[in-house]
Amino acid sequence: MNLFGSLKRRNNSLLLVYILFFITVWANSIIGTTDMANWIIENTLTVLSLIFLFSTYQSFRFNSFSYLLLCLFLCMHVYGSKYSYAANPLGFYFQELFNSPRNQYDRVVHFSFGLLLFYPMWECFSKWKKYPKNIALFLPMLLVVFVGAIYEIIEWLVADIFFTEQGISYLGTQGDIWDAQKDMAIAFAGVCIATLLFYFYSLSNGKLLNKN
């Protein structure tokens, strides 16, 4: 499948910009990484996400706003993989700025997972899978909780069983025994905020969510 040829035929110039921007950020992350083993582990899910998006492009195309949100989230994730999440320079900057006891970059990414990916998930359920709109509105919240739990289980398997040498840098708990629970909670908070914003936006524009 020639993805770029397909994009040109569909005249989706914005998506081409998003792809090129992401490739630039991704290339920068691997060139300047401080821990290649950690980079590879972190980007396994990135590769799986890209495979899903590329393989489904012919059958379903998200709108430009969804692709922008997906691009932003993936860029945030690969920027985190350039370093370890616990040693992220941007996180250190905000740690000093807000006098935080820890590097909060990982929490920002978890929050963004819920906040940024709500709309693409809603579009998938509502427009691709054709679920009733009121059901499609709440499914992203369930999916964020489910994926968050699966991700924390994967982190445990990677850190404790498969790649023990990379365990501490990959987990990035920074001494917090409740790190996994807080990561899931803040992702859930992000998707709840996005759901409410989308709901009230729909109300204000006269697009009430109904069962059809």
Q: Tokens 């709109």 correspond to what residue?
A: 133
122-178 pLDDT, tens digit each: 999 999 999 998 899 999 999 999 999 998 888 777 767 656 665 565 555 566 677
Q: Which of 4-18, 97-111, 151-165 has the highest mean pLDDT?
A: 97-111
Distance CA 112, CA 194 (A): 10
Mean pLDDT of the chain: 84
Report the number of secondary-structure helices (H) and strands (E) in the chain.
10, 0
Q: Which of 14-28, 80-94, 153-167, 191-205 has the lowest mean pLDDT?
A: 153-167
Among left, alpha and beta (phi > 0; psi -120 to 50; other), residue 206 is left
* Domain ranges, ordered by start, for the chain: 3-204
Q: Please check the confidence at residue 212 and state whether its pLDDT lies above 50.
A: no
* Whole-prediction pTM: 0.84
49-70 pLDDT, tens digit each: 999 999 998 888 899 999 999 9
